[in-house]
Chain A
């Protein structure tokens, strides 16, 4: 961890001021501290009430957020018939841990997850690469119609996938890419949100630093990889998480870009698992939990990047 620069500077300043401090007359009262004077100390009781209220509100909100997850777990672990006949209570009627094994093996969830991993990996790598290059151009290069081009790129955010769905399917079909990894990834290799986010990160790099690197002799690519990207790694990290979430959770496009069961990605596979036999409804719930585990791991490992990325630019500093 880097030491806070302000602390280092303050230490140096203290050292420099040491002599001045030594000649302070101990008989002269310390200057009156206005900040302390205008803020009366809070009473212990008021503090306790405020803390308790905060915790109560946070607990209530947590319950609201966690309740659907609890119900998912409850329905996954309970045998559907026993649970329904018990009147669908809010507590488990029976617990069957074996359901996760069955969901993974029986419904070829493993194969679908493997395919989803490949597709997600390709999309994330491609999106980071294209976003970084485009963001660099929009942040640092001057070219004709730059502003218009940027507005057009950002304008694509206004188009939901459904608008271009038919045209995209037609293109993929004509290119004979249905039921293939290229077919599943093509429409997502470039994303405006990535370009926008990373451009914002690049714009935060001080102009002096760009000038200094130019004088040092960095060309565009060297500056991008040696200076701009390392300095924007927090925002690129959070974009990787966002791209992963988007790619892993794709449902509409994989439904249209595949017509064979072997090419089902995990979200498409989830639709069918357990739905054929009402007695095995819990399999669907269990599969949903298994399918969300990679996302859970991602959120646990990258939560700092996500928060930093989401608040980037929101706070001056």
Chain B
């Protein structure tokens, strides 16, 4: 078994709470991504699994074992660091075999060691670089050496701390695919920390979105994207981020459609869930669910002025001002042309409008 479980785990550095009552179940063989901005506590959570940070309170379990007080080397985990953390004075071969040599518990005889090192090197395409030092390799190759060092010990859990951050965009995409493929082949639990939502969306079985040391939402990538639990998740996941605008709910029941009165007009939405008419709320609309049309003052739409148009080749982002708020519309490139400074009406797909409580920021519909 190699499931990982946080049960009310807290980590404090002096008076600062880095991780606040974390409770998370990571299933055996799952690819779990901890996603959040810098300083949100995701790396601290990962380092607690590794045993590199002590736990202030709560219980952390790997498999059946409570590991709160078990030293890192006895946890049967492997970690890949953002900086790769390779031993610069050792050859690639020595780097890969180091967990088998250094750890008395994992020690294997020389023949088995050589076999495993060559197997790992072959898996990651490093066979021809075994005699080289890390300084003689490119960033991508170093990253693969770090991965080989991790897989050679056959751990119960792989931990990865922003392993792609130092790679250029093209190599990052390629390595992302390789990591997903590696996870499929090994079937081991992966816990992966990143601030990059694209990495999270493309690799994870499930994502745990973290902010201010707290888990904001846990779910499959598509669920988190389509049903963000609060305003933080809504604005953090998605690029360009979700548009938000303040308004007052008008009409509607749990099953009937409603509209929201904003400063720049009334926007038609779907059924508002449990929200009562007259409630102040924040509307969230993804750029692809917002549409700009030419005649102004269309019913169920808000008035806007086009501030800028960003051409991306396959699509374009129309950035509009709605009163004091900025909203982005994602359009295919072949949509009718629009001009900067033009007045337009913005209307949303009613079923794709998200409603949030402006005070608690929690989702309402």
Contact = CB atoms under 8 A, between A and B. Distances in A.
B135 A5 contact: yes
A162 B91 CA distance: 49
Contacts of A212: 79, 81, 85
A153 interface: no
B170 interface: yes
Given A16-B170, A230-B89, A215 B79 contact: yes
Contact of A208 (B83, B104, B135, B137): B83
Given A214-B52, A216-B103, A227 B87 contact: yes
B136 A214 contact: no
B153 to A, nearest CB: 8
Interface residues of A, number: 26
A270 to B, nearest CB: 41
B81 to A, nearest CB: 4
A11 B141 CA distance: 12
A209 interface: yes
B103 A12 contact: no
Interface in B247-304: none
Nearest to B88: A231
A261 B137 CA distance: 60
B73 A216 contact: yes
A8 B85 CA distance: 18
B98 interface: yes
A317 B106 CA distance: 36
Interface in A12-61: 12-13, 16
Contacts of B115: none
B136 A5 contact: yes
B44 to A, nearest CB: 13
- A interface, over-half SS: helix
Contacts of B83: 206, 208
Contacts of B85: 206, 208-209, 211-212
A248 to B, nearest CB: 30
A105 interface: no
B23 interface: no
A231 B89 contact: yes
A211 B79 contact: yes
A228 to B, nearest CB: 10
A281 B306 CA distance: 97
A211 B52 CA distance: 7
A213 interface: yes
Interface string B132-147: 0111111111000000
Contact of B87 (A13, A209, A211): A209
Contact of A16 (B78, B149, B171): B171
Interface in A88-145: none
A222 interface: yes
B202 to A, nearest CB: 20
A12 B79 contact: no
Residue of B71, B81, B105 ringed by the most chain A CB atoms within 10 A: B81
B10 to A, nearest CB: 21
B102 interface: yes
A3 interface: yes
A60 to B, nearest CB: 41
Given A208-B82, A209-B85, A215-B77, A12 B138 contact: yes
A201 to B, nearest CB: 13
A205 to B, nearest CB: 10
Nearest to A209: B85
A217 interface: yes
Interface string B338-352: 000000000000000
A286 B347 CA distance: 99
A218 B101 CA distance: 9
Contacts of A211: 47, 50, 52, 72, 79, 81, 85
Contacts of B134: 5
Interface in B41-79: 47, 50-52, 71-73, 77-79
A9 interface: yes
A217 B89 contact: no
A217 B102 contact: yes
A16 B83 CA distance: 22
B62 to A, nearest CB: 13
Interface string A224-259: 001100110000000000000000000000000000
Contacts of B133: 2
Nearest to A10: B138
B136 A2 contact: yes
A235 to B, nearest CB: 14
A218 B72 CA distance: 10
Contacts of B170: 16
Contacts of B141: 12
Interface string B114-136: 00000000000000000001111
A211 B75 CA distance: 14
B137 A5 contact: yes
B310 interface: no
B99 interface: yes
B52 to A, nearest CB: 5
Contact of A214 (B72, B87, B135): B72
B203 to A, nearest CB: 21
A218 B81 contact: no
B109 interface: no
Contacts of A206: 83, 85
B15 interface: no
12 contacts: A3-B136, A8-B136, A9-B139, A11-B138, A206-B85, A208-B81, A208-B85, A215-B77, A216-B98, A217-B99, A217-B104, A231-B88
Given A214-B72, A215-B99, A222-B102, 6 more contacts: A5-B136, A9-B139, A12-B140, A16-B171, A206-B83, A215-B50
Interface of B: 47, 50-52, 71-73, 77-79, 81-83, 85, 87-89, 98-99, 102-106, 133-141, 149, 168, 170-171
**Which 3 interchain pairs have the tightest Cβ spacing?**
A217-B103, A12-B138, A212-B85
